[in-house]
Amino acid sequence: MLTGVVLLATACTGQEQEPRREGDASGLSGPLAVFADQELAWDECESGAPGTECATYEVPLDYDDPGGERIEIAVKRLPSEGDDVIGSLLVNPGGPGSPGYDFVDHASSKVSDPVRERFDVVGFDPRGVGRSAPLTCMDAEGIDEFLGGVDGVEGDGDMSEVTDAELAELQEDSRDFVEACQANDPEIMMHMGTANVARDMDVLRVLLGDEKLTYLGFSYGTSIGAHYAEQFPERVRALVLDGAVDPSQGQLELSVQQATGFETALRAFVEDCLGGPDCPLGGSGDSVDDGIEALRGFLADTAREPLGNTMDDREVNRARAELGVLAALYSEGWWPRVREALTAATEEGDGTLLLQLADALYSRGDTSAYVNSTAALIAVNCSDSSSPRDVEAYVEAAAEAGEESPIFGPSLAWGALPCAYWPEEAVAPEREFDAEGAAPVMVVGTTRDSATPYAWSEALAEQLDPGFLLTRDGDGHTGYRMGDQCIDTHVDSYLIELTVPEDGMVCA
């Protein structure tokens, strides 16, 4: 892991720290005022880290009809043990579809000791996720088939160009998924957008007694924070948006652009692999391009003859093998595991480890989480921005993404196809994000981030009027608590003291 060396000069400014306010938070008025009358009845959690407390609160299913149906949001907190508590730090790990409720159990590793001493760490499952009115579309078997790729794939499985039969199957699978959502949970699927999640978070802020919001969001969690700053700029105390998503792009555009991030991460992994002993992709005399070509050859072989595994009867075809490799690119710490998985696959014909990596990406170890996280991922992505309704746009996007990332690009583009069939009335209107009037907002970007390309962090920091960019020059997804002391120090100082480093600060 890279060390924390500041490459650009600092010009820090301090803002006056705001004291904690108990039960006197502003914000809810008119028909929403009734939601401020709730109390969070904290109780010992049924499971989780020692000392955590759990509660629920209610929000409108539809904010345009606040007197109508309500849904329940699950929330967990780890109270601060310090004597000088500033307030609550709300956290979200990303996804979409990842539970913020369970994320609090990992606060000791995800949030620094100085921050935990000054804040209660609070996480909630966004609407439609986990314990908060979870959206269900397909059962586990159905999702296995949905994620398992095209049954009738021909040749080497390269999806940058598809046959008529393959295209028909892709369309049918996507329509079937959306129809399953409509059949199982027609109400919640219509209100899954992140703008609603941000409003739910504002209700929680009020119930916690915080006049302004302090928030730490990773990956998709940055979208929640950006929506909050746009809707409630005067209620922002400090927002850390780490591994940003660019809110100005549609879902298909994001999928194509995401291919560049995974391609950058893949090349870093292959270079590292080739530099060590017994790399399954070649030796020290081979170039990165040679190693990637070896990986492409291996994946093509799995399309023609899938691997077996020792866990169940699923075939490790190209789609599942790709997911296994892609999952390991989220963190440099997973690189040894994918090397081991590729070695077992290429030398022994055993796809078990690759399948385990793919399963971890979608939380398949917990059937309920697996079923819900996939549904929530697609529902939020399709709800947050408009997508083309013409399948030819996806054909073109797959080809374009294949040029940027021959291995992962086409699959990422096709992954957006369900949005072509998502109910149009559930899709948020286009909007610009500038959060004018908000306090300074920290955007953290990692130069070789796999899942959220660095360019997205640059774009978000530029779009937000109060945004400033802090850069981690390194590998892996997100920057805070990833081993770079420089990043951690600046994030901690901003959250606690509201210290703003110079815009464009780079840590390496």
Catalytic site includes residue 219: yes
pLDDT single digits (tens) 251-299: 999 999 999 999 999 999 999 999 999 999 998 899 999 999 999 999 9
pLDDT at 152: 61
The span from the CA of 315 to the CA of 306, in Å, is 6
Structure tokens at 109: 């590793």
Cβ-contact 287, 293 below 8 angstroms: no
Q: CB under 8 Å to 275, separation ≥6 — which residues? A: 284
pLDDT at 19: 33
What pLDDT band is residue 158 in, cutting at 50, 70 and 90? confident
Residue 3 has pLDDT above 50, yes or no: no
Residue 431 has pLDDT above 90, yes or no: no
Q: Say what percent of the chain tops pLDDT 70.
A: 94
Structure tokens at 132: 């908060």
Q: Taking CA 34 as the corner, what is the angle to CA 32 and CA 38, rounded to the nearest 5 degrees? A: 120
Which residue in the list 449, 473, 475, 492 is annotated as catalytic?
449
What pLDDT band is residue 25 in, cutting at 50, 70 and 90? low
What pLDDT band is residue 5 in, cutting at 50, 70 and 90? very low
Cβ-contact 217, 442 below 8 angstroms: no
What is the secondary structure of 23-87 as a DSSP string? Answer: S------GGGGGGGG-----EE-SSSSTT-EEEEEEEESSTTSTTS-EEEEEEEEE---SSS--E
What pLDDT band is residue 149 in, cutting at 50, 70 and 90? confident
pLDDT at 368: 85
What pLDDT band is residue 16 in, cutting at 50, 70 and 90? very low
Cβ-contact 180, 142 below 8 angstroms: yes
Looking at the DSSP assignment, which residues form a beta bridge with residue 70?
Answer: 60
pTM > 0.85: yes or no = yes
**Which one-letter amino acid corresponds to residue 384?**
D
Which of left, alpha, beta for 504 (phi over 0: left; psi -120 to 50: alpha)? left
Q: What is the mean pLDDT of the chain?
A: 92
pLDDT single digits (tens) 439-487: 999 999 999 999 999 999 999 999 999 999 999 999 999 999 999 999 9
- Of 7-21, 149-163, 324-338, 344-358, least confident by mean pLDDT is 7-21
Q: Given the DSSP bridges, would you call strands 236-242 and 213-218 parallel, antiparallel or unpaired? A: parallel
| Distance from chain centroid for Cα 373 | 11
CA distances from 102 to 89, 333, 358, 381, 433 (A): 15, 21, 21, 22, 29
| Distance from chain centroid for Cα 46 | 26
Determine which helix (DSSP H) or strand (DSSP E) holds 394, and give its type and residue range: helix 391-404
What pLDDT band is residue 153 in, cutting at 50, 70 and 90? low
pLDDT single digits (tens) 212-227: 999 999 999 999 999 9
Which of left, alpha, beta for 481 (phi over 0: left; psi -120 to 50: alpha)? left
Which residue in the list 477, 484, 488, 492 is annotated as catalytic?
477
Residue 65 has pLDDT above 60, yes or no: yes
In which residue are the tokens 């269900």 written?
A: 136
Q: CB under 8 Å to 295, separation ≥6 — which residues? A: 266, 270, 281, 325, 342, 407
Structure tokens at 508: 């390496």
Average pLDDT score over residue span 238-257: 95
What pLDDT band is residue 26 in, cutting at 50, 70 and 90? low
Average pLDDT score over residue span 27-49: 94
pLDDT at 268: 94
Residue 143 has pLDDT above 50, yes or no: yes
The span from the CA of 338 to the CA of 343, in Å, is 8
Residue 245 has pLDDT above 60, yes or no: yes
Residue 14 has pLDDT above 50, yes or no: no
Cβ-contact 487, 1 below 8 angstroms: no
The span from the CA of 317 to the CA of 157, in Å, is 9
pLDDT at 508: 83
What pLDDT band is residue 79 in, cutting at 50, 70 and 90? very high
CA distances from 305 to 117, 313, 349, 411 (A): 54, 15, 10, 19
CA distances from 230 to 28, 407, 433, 435 (A): 16, 36, 6, 4
CA distances from 113 to 20, 82, 119, 156, 488 (A): 19, 10, 10, 50, 11
> Taking the C-alpha atoms of 221, 222, 227 and 228 in order, what is their torsion angle to the nearest 10 degrees?
80
The span from the CA of 144 to the CA of 320, in Å, is 10
Catalytic site includes residue 156: no
For 56-69, letters b (16+ CB in 10 Å) and e give bbebbbeeeebeee
Catalytic site includes residue 449: yes
